[in-house]
């Protein structure tokens, strides 16, 4: 799996702090970005996060390029509606090689069977295409383990929400790995904004009730 931060709003922490400054002072637009030291920016960011005033975080966005993940994972990913996606098409792109994801829980002889089943699916897919079936119809035979590529853009407020759901141990391992890699990248660019991001137990109680993984209790 590869998760790459392709683009982000320049100076994201300055922009969020400027928007906050506008909300909480008489400043005019011309001056909103002025006199905002790193400490002052952090002060505004902390204040917004503490108050739950999250709309200023919608002004900054992050675009990730992700490859080597399964269609299972992207099916879960694209359920996040406050995000923009561009995914490699199985209608316009046909596949020659079997690139697929094997869940770590599948081991030994089951892994061998898994590989054979997947390779056989690709062989039949190729046969369908050679016999004139369009890739958009031949793809019906491909398993969900097949790899795909996707470009994802989210604003920071949606990223908070996404990380809350998908960095949690209750999320499936593959999308959790994606989310954790995205969080690592986002933190490099905006460490103050994403300092408390992740599963809800990073900053407070676990909302999962009887489905909790138990990790928050161990921390107490
Ligand atoms: C552990 C786990 C298990 C899951 N299991 C299942 C399952 O079994 N079956 C299944 O179908 N899905 C399942 N999901 C997917 C889940 O139901 C959501 O579709 C997915 O997590 C996206 O979350 P979201 O809707 O909050 O996010 P987004 O779509 O990114 O939306 C963000 C927020 O915007 C607001 N919002 C967005 N659209 C609307 C709207 N139309 N109306 C009102 N408010 C809106 C909501 O506050 C929402 O939380 C699971 C998710 C997780 C994390």
What's the mean pLDDT when you consider all of the chain?
Answer: 94
Question: Of all atoms in ligand 1, which is nearest to the CA of residue 171?
Answer: 1
- pLDDT tier for residue 204 given thresholds of 50, 70 and 90: confident
- Quote the ligand 1 centre to 79 CA distance (angstroms): 6
Residue nearest to atom 13 of ligand 1 (CA): 76
Q: Coil, helix or strand for 187?
A: helix
Lowest mean pLDDT among 76-80, 144-148, 198-202: 198-202
What pLDDT, on the 0 to 100 scale, is given for residue 51? 95
Q: Which of 7, 81, 139, 166 is catalytic?
A: 166
pLDDT digits (tens, 9 = 90+) for 52-75: 999 999 999 999 999 999 999 999
Tabulate helix, strand, coil % of the chain (nearest 5).
50, 15, 35
> Which protein residue's CA is at the shortest distance from atom 18 of ligand 1?
79
Q: Which atom of ligand 1 is nearest to the CA of 161?
A: 32
Question: Residue 139's closest CA among 153, 129, 149, 147?
Answer: 129
Percent of the chain residues topping a pLDDT of 90: 85
For domain 2-85+149-219, the CATH class is: alpha beta
More confident residue, 213 or 199: 199
Instruction: Identify the residue whose C-alpha is closest to ligand 1 atom 40.
Output: 81
Find out whether 80 and 155 touch, Cβ atoms under 8 Å.
no
Q: Between 12-24 and 38-51, two packed helices, what is the crossing angle to 10 degrees?
A: 70
pTM summary value: 0.94
- Residue ranges per domain, the chain? 2-85+149-219, 95-141
pLDDT at residue number 220: 47
Identify whether 79 is a catalytic site residue: no
Q: Which atom of ligand 1 is nearest to the CA of 172?
A: 1
């Amino acid at each position: 799996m590869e998760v790459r931060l392709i683009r982000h709003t320049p100076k994201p922490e300055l922009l969020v702090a400027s928007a906050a400054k506008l909300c909480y002072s008489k400043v005019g637009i011309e001056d909103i970005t002025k006199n905002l030291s790193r400490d002052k920016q952090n002060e505004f960011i902390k204040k917004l996060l503490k108050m739950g005033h999250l709309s200023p975080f919608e002004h900054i966005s992050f675009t990730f390029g992700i490859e080597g993940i399964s269609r299972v994972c992207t099916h879960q990913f694209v359920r996040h509606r406050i995000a923009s996606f561009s995914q490699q098409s199985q209608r316009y792109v046909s596949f020659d090689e079997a690139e697929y994801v094997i869940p770590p829980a599948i081991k030994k002889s089951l892994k061998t069977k898994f590989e054979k089943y997947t390779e056989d699916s690709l062989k039949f897919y190729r046969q369908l295409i050679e016999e004139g079936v369009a890739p958009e119809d031949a793809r019906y035979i491909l398993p969900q383990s097949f790899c795909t590529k996707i470009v994802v853009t989210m604003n920071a407020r949606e990223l908070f929400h996404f990380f809350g759901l998908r960095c949690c141990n209750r999320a499936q391992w593959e999308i959790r790995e994606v989310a954790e890699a995205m969080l690592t990248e986002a933190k490099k660019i905006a460490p103050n904004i994403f300092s408390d991001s992740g599963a809800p137990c990073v900053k407070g109680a676990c909302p999962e009730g009887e489905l909790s993984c138990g990790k928050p209790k161990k921390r107490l």
